[in-house]
Amino acid sequence: MALIATFETITGVSAVDVVRDDDSERLIFVVRAKQLGKAIGRDGVRVRMAADAFGRPVDIVEMADTAEDFVKSALAPARVEHVKIAEHKDGSLVASVTVKAEDRGIAIGRDGKNVARARILARRHFDLDNVVIA
């Protein structure tokens, strides 16, 4: 709770959730819809202040009502064309994401960081077992 309280003090935005991603040494905050811009701040000033306060990079993702929209949000700034959620024979739920060809690298991220963020959050908020970039 201390992480969320500090984030809210710095940004002025309520956080719905926070995930400590130790693999990528970052914090991922989920904020309510239409609060992303305020949380980031003009020219990224608020998110930089938060990163400085926590001593590690901070990612901010906007909450959504559906799993498809949430996966799109988690993969931003990549331009997602389509998200299809399918149940596999083993019962697992997988989001298959189609992005613009020139944004494929952005969606995946360096060392797979961005798609990993989407997987972590989709599992936590919508019980999806995997997110794949098609």
CATH number of 67-133: 3.30.300.20
Cβ–Cβ < 8 Å for 122, 95: yes
Distance between CA 52 and CA 132 in Å, rounded?
32
3-state helix, strand, coil in the chain (%, to 5): 45, 30, 25
Q: Report pLDDT for 86.
A: 96
Which residues on neighbouring strands pair with residue 61, listed in sequence order? Answer: 30
Question: For residue 53, which of 5, 2, 6 has the smallest C-alpha distance?
Answer: 6
Per-residue model confidence as pLDDT tens digits over 30-42: 999 999 999 999 9
Question: For residue 102, which of 80, 87, 131 has the smallest C-alpha distance?
Answer: 80
Q: For the residues of 26-70, what is the DSSP string, one character each?
A: EEEEEE-TT-HHHHH-GGGHHHHHHHHHHTS-EEEEE--SSHHHH
What does each C-alpha distance from 2 to 15, 18, 74, 87 come to in angstroms? 12, 10, 23, 37
Element (H, E) at 73: helix 67-74
Residue appearing with tokens 């999806």: 128
Per-residue pLDDT of the chain (134 residues; tens, 9 = 90+): 799 999 999 999 999 999 999 888 999 999 999 999 999 999 999 999 999 999 999 999 999 999 999 999 999 999 999 999 999 999 999 999 999 999 999 999 999 999 999 999 999 999 999 999 98
Spell out the domain ranges in the chain: 2-62, 67-133
Asked if 2-62 and 67-133 have one fold, the answer is yes
2-62: which CATH topology?
Answer: GMP Synthetase; Chain A, domain 3 (3.30.300)
Residue appearing with tokens 């935005």: 13
Q: Report pLDDT for 134.
A: 87
Distance between CA 108 and CA 100 in Å, rounded?
12
